[in-house]
A and B are shown apart, each in its own frame.
Chain A
């Protein structure tokens, strides 16, 4: 005879009692495992979605405002393969392939595109879709066909279209169009100079194409690709590359198209290669592909020895890619500038007017005698009453200016001297547009003293000193200038004659320092650099050497040419996404608790039935520990069986939850499509966890049972003793909790914290504990032996008092039932207090909407100031249209959507740049960085020059403010933390979160000072997001007016409360889910109540039989039992509802209270009826049959 044998016997013999326990364990396990599987499914869905949008890409190079030649990627691959083959030849000659470098497998192609942002409309204007990806591509196979059909030996032949386009399925569905329809595509034209510059054309920014839809891409490899992270799937139109390039005015490359996006599906580097086809088989298979290719190239047999495997980290691969790019790029295929030799001078200029600062830096470092030049337009040169309009002025050193020329001195040409009637010593006022004033065209004036007058001959008479200002350079006359500013000064005949004769020859010269102080800007502070050639140098050789020297000091990243490991990033974002497993565990907590409680109760019932058996074991010399061990082992087996059943049930639970998340609860997951995923690991972990939890619950249930005296157990006495001490204890706890609860609620009311849901929820919980304490004390008092009981013996007893005594017979069971019902009803009723109302106080500046009525987002950047007359005039908006409207504009740097609507972890959230003072007093700050002492406005912390409010950040850090929910849940950060970014020049920098606003429309991004934004991202022109203050009675009207006026830039307007409601819907949906699952738990609790009733009655059949024997009718017995258990039900619900009433006080006290009284009442009535039903069923079942037989059996 072994312990194991006894356990087996017990399990088999008591199977009926154990069935209920197993069922309870199964329900709890199903909820627990199901929640974890939901988490698996969300992660799996996000991972799938992330990878499907990338095609087979591992790396991405995307430059929004710089273009490079279509031939650059193949040049990189050629260099990589060349290196590999050279090394392979060396090794092969030694008859060995050890340390063979592996490189790109040509079976897998790079994908290159030109990606712009635009809008697409139906030709009948019935629908316009904004934020569309307009993609120029040469090979449509990757758009139309899945990966398997476009990679590998059997490549589908290239497909190209003419005058047609392909829509992705999402865009076609949004437009309601099919193949054969026509669409109108609008997108921003490429500008050589940013539209934020003063001297650049502001009109004709957009280009338009009208194309026929050739087909709709459904499962193409790149159909869902987006170089920019989006919350939902992108809407994309694919156009032939040459058509898009031409329409967008993208700078042409010799014999190749211009692109700005390069998807690299394979890793280029030494020793490692990622093959999308063999992702399942791991690195070994990946390397085999590369080895096979090299062997083939070297005509080696396939059974030649392979090299050892070498793994590369992503960081190493990125380094290799950067190195290969550095070797492949040049001035021609990346348009770094034009380096030409003119005479004996090499001249470096650029189509972008201002030389990129990294290029300028590198060029100046390349040779020692470089001559930096900055030429700019002076709108007016005035001396006294004489003025010369629209003249070029050059800031440079020798030979144009004397070495000792001061910064406040100017050298003028003879022509200018004559025109202004000035001589050396006279003063000239030089007016100019501030370079970055954009459409505002802010003018500034500096004064210079004439140092000398120079003749109109070389070196001063040099028209090539003027850069290629767009709209100016090719104009035939001054009056024909179209450079983004009105010609307000009179153009005289001599001015026009000068232009015709001398074109852009500068009329004056100042020091470089003075010029850079006035005209230096974020786009650059030089317009040209000249390199005098050495005497015996050959022109072309010198040019080539100079180009090499400049490139040698330049890194591709400095010009935004940086590879991003998009595959790794996408997988990381999915991996770090919202923990839906944990979330659903929380939602299901009450259901799991109810199941475990039910399981424990049934197990306890079983123990009570086996009391004599347990007493026998103790009497035979088993220690309580041995008996406990025996029973726990039984319990573990039951928990395991329940867990296995629960694992199966959990899968169905998860599927049901997923169905809910995609239907009634879809507000919680935004645009994410969810599929069922499950891993074996999750099932094992869930099973293990549920078995442990169940086993612990059972251990707790039997812990005290085996400590009872063997004598009592043998006699079947399982009831607990009652004592005066227990009564006192319960009363102390009850009063203490009540006082604490009332005090907490009172404090919240008195201190004006009536909106503090947490405080009232806490007070409600304390009232709940107090209520349960009073119930417990009452139950003890009913059966305790005390003087009061003795005195009551003379009172006439009633059916009701008899019923009450019955409640106290099994105090712990009764209390457990009351507690389950009270907790369930409390949670379900009170959780509604946390629902967020977007409309509450929406017009207040400190509300979540910031007092703004509308949120606008444009597809194309808006340069104009919509608060100014000129800006409104540009969009044909009248004063009447815009009366009472003020707009706060934001610059936008795309990034990860960091709101509750995006389940992925936001690694680099979208950045918005704004002038901090524009948001003063708006929104309510929840938290500010410690160490800050804000005297004016929390928003002033954004400015690094703000006095007195200044955030304690490092010099290279950028302060940012975000929404508290976004920061905590989407970014997984807190105030004071930093996030790493890389600017347009490839320089890493940190954004430090210095403040968080509460529950706002600013979810999804981080806000920084506009000054910092333009410094870090100079290429991001214009504004693309707007918060609008609009009179409340004109919101609809103004919304329609603005949408119409700004449709060409793709303006989309959303009422701010609506946007906030979308965010709030996530939390409200979570609460709703909790209530539904909590309701299930309560239902289970009601079942538990029924089982308790049934058990109680069956135990007392003898007593009930005695009642019948002394003349009670069966109906009276039933009524007695109903009253008894109805009292428990009423106590449970009563305590729960009263506690919940305290918890929902914020909603009641709020003037805009929207307490859902009817739905709450319905819920409570449903709970009451459900409880009564189970009680009635159990009672009917228990008193059926011949009760008197129980007496005879006794």
Chain B
């Protein structure tokens, strides 16, 4: 199975006051993530976990090093290409769900489709190794985004809440909507930054389980940054960020 994501000697430094040295947060990160893999990144507060996830998710840029996503070096892409990557290849789940309060559940889930004005019909599921049809494996049935949205929302138990607004949902329900939104364009990679950080224990457990199941059902590669050991344990691999480097746990 070829690697979906490759990080080579990635560093991230923040500028300091004149005369002082720059503050390094990530120090020569090397990482390979296979298609369909699940990975948890843990570490203490301020260790740079969210920074690493944002670099992978193109929300931030590495100071040095290379980040290859599906063979493409993200540093060489233009802003428009990066936006396309974020829209089509990556799904992001934030700790604060960032749902649009003025839109319904249904509308929130479909917001990413507005960024791509002429989307082609999506396959019902990814094939083995998290590939789409035409990416090497057998073709699957295609479905429209609306069908996919309805299916996924039902899958996460919100089939009867389509027209409710975020303000009418619980914290866990909102986060599930955020997960569906992240998956609507069938991305190759799903990034979750402390997805259970704002949830109670029961909701957190439920969400954790959901993520794992979706990884298997949708074939999406999953990288999670978390403090929660329960969530980390469910991942196939756990790495710890210590002193700017990733070490195997």
Contact = CB atoms under 8 A, between A and B. Distances in A.
Say what secondary structure dominates the interface of chain A.
helix
A785 B86 contact: no
Contact of B107 (A5, A617, A622, A790): A5
Interface stretch (A118-126, A341-349, A707-715, A832-840): A707-715
A605 B94 CA distance: 25
B6 interface: no
Given A711-B60, A790-B17, A1 B79 contact: no
A3 B110 CA distance: 11
Contacts of B107: 1, 5-6, 9
A2 B112 CA distance: 11
A13 B101 CA distance: 8
B54 A613 contact: no
A785 B101 contact: no
Interface in B34-76: 54, 57, 59-60
A145 B92 CA distance: 85
Contact of A10 (B79, B80, B102, B114): B102
A626 B111 contact: no
A9 B112 contact: no
B192 to A, nearest CB: 13
A955 interface: no
Given A1-B106, A714-B94, A620 B79 contact: no
Contacts of A618: 83, 86
B102 A12 contact: yes
Given A1-B113, A621-B88, A714-B94, A616 B59 contact: no
A714 to B, nearest CB: 7
B18 interface: yes
A13 B98 contact: no
A621 B84 contact: yes
A365 interface: no
A714 B102 contact: no
Contacts of B103: 6, 9
Given A621-B86, A787-B19, A790-B17, A6 B111 contact: yes
Which of A1, A621, A714, A785 is packed against the most chain B CB atoms within 10 Å?
A621
B87 interface: yes
A2 B54 CA distance: 28
A615 B97 CA distance: 12
Nearest to B107: A1
Nearest to B102: A13
Contacts of B94: 619, 714
B154 to A, nearest CB: 18
Contacts of A622: 83, 87, 114-115
Interface in A589-643: 612-613, 615-624, 626
B13 interface: no
A622 B98 CA distance: 15
B8 interface: no
Interface in B106-162: 106-107, 110-116
Given A10-B102, A711-B60, A714-B94, A624 B79 contact: yes
B181 interface: yes
B18 A623 contact: no
B77 interface: no
A581 to B, nearest CB: 41
Contact of A623 (B79, B112, B185): B79
A619 B59 contact: yes
B22 interface: no
Contact of B111 (A12, A620, A623, A624): A620
B94 to A, nearest CB: 7
B177 to A, nearest CB: 13
A729 B19 CA distance: 22
Contacts of A14: 102
B83 A621 contact: yes
Contact of A1 (B60, B96, B111): B111
Nearest to B50: A711
Contacts of B169: none
A786 interface: yes
Contacts of B87: 620-622
B198 interface: no
**A618, A620, A711: which has the most chain B beta carbons within 10 Å?**
A620
A9 B111 contact: no
B60 A9 contact: no
A2 B146 CA distance: 12
Contacts of B112: 620-621
B100 A786 contact: no
Nearest to B146: A1
Nearest to A11: B102
Contacts of A3: 114
Contacts of A709: 59-60
A12 B101 CA distance: 11
Interface in A732-791: 785-787, 790
A692 to B, nearest CB: 26
A613 B103 CA distance: 11
Contacts of B60: 709, 711
A711 B92 CA distance: 12
Contacts of B92: 619-620
Interface in A1-39: 1-3, 5-6, 9-10, 12-14
B231 to A, nearest CB: 21
Nearest to B181: A620
Question: B80, B83, B92, B101: which has the most chain A beta carbons within 10 Å?
Answer: B83
B83 A623 contact: yes
B102 A9 contact: yes
A620 B184 CA distance: 11
A624 B80 CA distance: 9
A6 B92 CA distance: 21
Contacts of A714: 59, 94, 98
A1 B110 contact: yes
Given A619-B59, A710-B59, A711-B54, A9 B116 contact: no
A3 B88 CA distance: 18
B100 A9 contact: yes
Contacts of A785: 17-18
A786 B110 contact: no
A613 B114 contact: no
A615 B80 contact: no
A623 B80 contact: yes
Contacts of B86: 618-621
B59 A711 contact: yes
A1 B79 CA distance: 25
Nearest to B60: A711
A187 B88 CA distance: 96
Contacts of B80: 623
A14 B103 CA distance: 12
Contacts of B18: 785-787
Given A620-B181, A621-B86, A621-B87, A6 B114 contact: yes
Contacts of B19: 787
B216 to A, nearest CB: 24
Contacts of B57: 619
A1164 B192 CA distance: 58
B53 to A, nearest CB: 10
A612 B101 CA distance: 11
A583 to B, nearest CB: 45
Contacts of B114: 1-3, 6, 622, 626
A10 B103 CA distance: 8
B105 to A, nearest CB: 11
26 contacts: A1-B106, A1-B107, A2-B114, A5-B107, A6-B114, A9-B100, A12-B102, A13-B101, A612-B96, A612-B98, A613-B98, A619-B59, A619-B86, A619-B92, A619-B94, A620-B86, A621-B86, A621-B87, A622-B114, A623-B79, A626-B114, A709-B59, A711-B59, A785-B17, A787-B19, A790-B17
| CB-CB nearest 3 A-B residue pairs | A621-B87, A13-B102, A1-B110
Given A623-B79, A709-B60, A714-B94, 9 more contacts: A2-B114, A9-B107, A613-B100, A617-B111, A619-B59, A620-B181, A621-B84, A621-B85, A623-B115
